[in-house]
Copies of this chain bind each other. A is one copy, B any other.
């Protein structure tokens, strides 16, 4: 047990910090072109696709180094790269399960953000129960005819390609009739409608597919192997954001402390109020524990202990913490925490959701964390069943099967 960073990682961190300090603040990063340009710059510096094998254009770095990059970006509030889902999940899926042709065709352009990718998994009636998805892909020989609706698609409006789960065998058991295929988003049969969240912005979309066409050559793995593929290859960005996330919490904590110095009650700054102090102290303890836990995850990844189902603990832990954390912040800040446009320095924060905003934005976003990518309820099911080995639930769909 030695939690000191290695000399190599320390040097790497210094290098990353220096690079970011030089490069991050130059010019706006708002329009799609600007974001693509920034992404490309990050890529060329070796800070995107860090875990990808070199043969596919990646950098063959360690999870720790990847986490260091994200951590330093969080510290500086540097804009994130674009195409995160592609590089984190879809690219690795293609590398593991794709054909040589697919790798040739898609990987490099994904890394460089020349083409933006989205994920077409969830449906209005298939959320926690993803395997009950209804979108159909009819086998037409050289292509599939796709009909159905997807939801919670990130980057929908800017996506060039999507990775799609669709039902190719309606008669098989629900997990068995699903295939995974790449779908060109820029075709008449695909309509993307932005979906607004309660924060007021639209980071997600609904995607409607009406006789959309997916090529046979874009089938990933075998026909009806889609569920298996979706379950097994979602792991290449594990821990990437673990340190950066906590750093973002810490940055927000400093802003909260600043606020409690400026806001006053009973004739003195809030920060001198023992009741406020006790709650801040508790929040910071939890925040630090998230950091220690992040190091533990990175250490496990380094030792090639795949965290597997235990990553459900991590997700449950930080999303539930984040909810308590921003709830506390809003409780302390009173009406100042509810502003949707910042007027003071302490009101303008990085929400760790990719959407900058105020405390209110962060508070609202924190409600999403325990829902997306497997709700807290689903995570607890997984932990109970796969980590603790508790007996399976008695469930209606299992009785039918």
Residues of A within 8 A of B (CB): 273-278, 394-396, 399
Cβ–Cβ < 8 Å partners of A394 in chain B: 394-396, 399
Number of copies: 2
Could you tell me the distance between the alpha carbons of A278 and B399 in the complex, rounded to whole angstroms?
A: 50
Task: Supply 13 A–B pairs (Cβ within 8 Å), ascending by A.
Answer: A273-B274, A274-B274, A274-B275, A274-B276, A275-B275, A275-B277, A275-B278, A278-B278, A394-B394, A394-B395, A394-B396, A394-B399, A399-B399
Could you tell me the distance between the alpha carbons of A278 and B277 in the complex, rounded to whole angstroms?
A: 12
Could you tell me the distance between the alpha carbons of A39 and B399 in the complex, rounded to whole angstroms?
A: 56
Cβ–Cβ < 8 Å partners of A277 in chain B: 275
Chain B residue at minimal CB-CB distance from A281: B275
Cβ–Cβ < 8 Å partners of A276 in chain B: 274
Cβ–Cβ < 8 Å partners of A273 in chain B: 274
Could you tell me the distance between the alpha carbons of A146 and B79 in the complex, rounded to whole angstroms?
A: 76
A327 to chain B, nearest CB (A): 15
Chain B residue at minimal CB-CB distance from A277: B275
A159 to chain B, nearest CB (A): 38
A260 to chain B, nearest CB (A): 13
Could you tell me the distance between the alpha carbons of A133 and B72 in the complex, rounded to whole angstroms?
A: 62
Max count, chain B CB within 10 A of own CB: residue among A273, A394, A396, A399: A394
Could you tell me the distance between the alpha carbons of A301 and B396 in the complex, rounded to whole angstroms?
A: 40
Top 7 nearest A-B pairs (CB, nearest first) are A274-B274, A275-B278, A274-B275, A275-B275, A394-B396, A273-B274, A394-B394
Chain B residue at minimal CB-CB distance from A266: B274
Cβ–Cβ < 8 Å partners of A275 in chain B: 274-275, 277-278
Chain B residue at minimal CB-CB distance from A393: B394
Could you tell me the distance between the alpha carbons of A395 and B278 in the complex, rounded to whole angstroms?
A: 44
Could you tell me the distance between the alpha carbons of A339 and B394 in the complex, rounded to whole angstroms?
A: 45
A268 to chain B, nearest CB (A): 11
Cβ–Cβ < 8 Å partners of A274 in chain B: 273-276
Q: A274-B275, A275-B277 are in contact. List 10 more A-B contacts (CB 8 A).
A: A274-B274, A274-B276, A275-B275, A275-B278, A278-B278, A394-B394, A394-B395, A394-B396, A394-B399, A399-B399
